[in-house]
Amino acid sequence: MQDLIINGKPGQYRIADSEQAKTYGFVDKGEAETDTGIGKLATHCYIRHSEGSSRSTYLWVAPSLEYLPARIESRKDDEVQTALTLMSVEGIEKR
């Protein structure tokens, strides 16, 4: 969220995974309207692919809510395995 607020795009992140560190980056997939528990939100979609894996993470963030994730999907072989959807918000003023 901080990188999006400051730079307008996500950076690359080095994350500890098991016994090694991996670098993750995101592919910009553009704007989308996303259904949430607080109604439809204008969002921006990013995809993170895992190197050498069929797994990916889709992330829809809402610029009007300081880039709070509105939906996150974990996919394997392009099939949704887990999905999280924003249901309510407190403490962030909608712009």
* Residue-by-residue pLDDT tens, the chain, 95 positions: 888 888 888 878 878 877 788 778 889 999 999 999 999 999 999 999 877 778 899 999 999 999 999 999 999 998 999 999 999 999 887 77
Residue 52 in contact with residue 60, Cβ under 8 Å?
no
Its pTM stands at: 0.85
Sequence-ordered list of residues with C-beta below 8 angstroms from that of 13, at least 6 positions apart, any chain: 23, 24, 25
Do the Cβ atoms of 15 and 44 come closer than 8 Å? no
Query: Is the separation of the CB atoms in 4 and 67 below 8 Å?
Result: yes
Q: What is the pLDDT of residue 70?
A: 97
What is the predicted pLDDT for the residue at 4?
A: 86
Would you state the pLDDT for residue 42?
A: 97
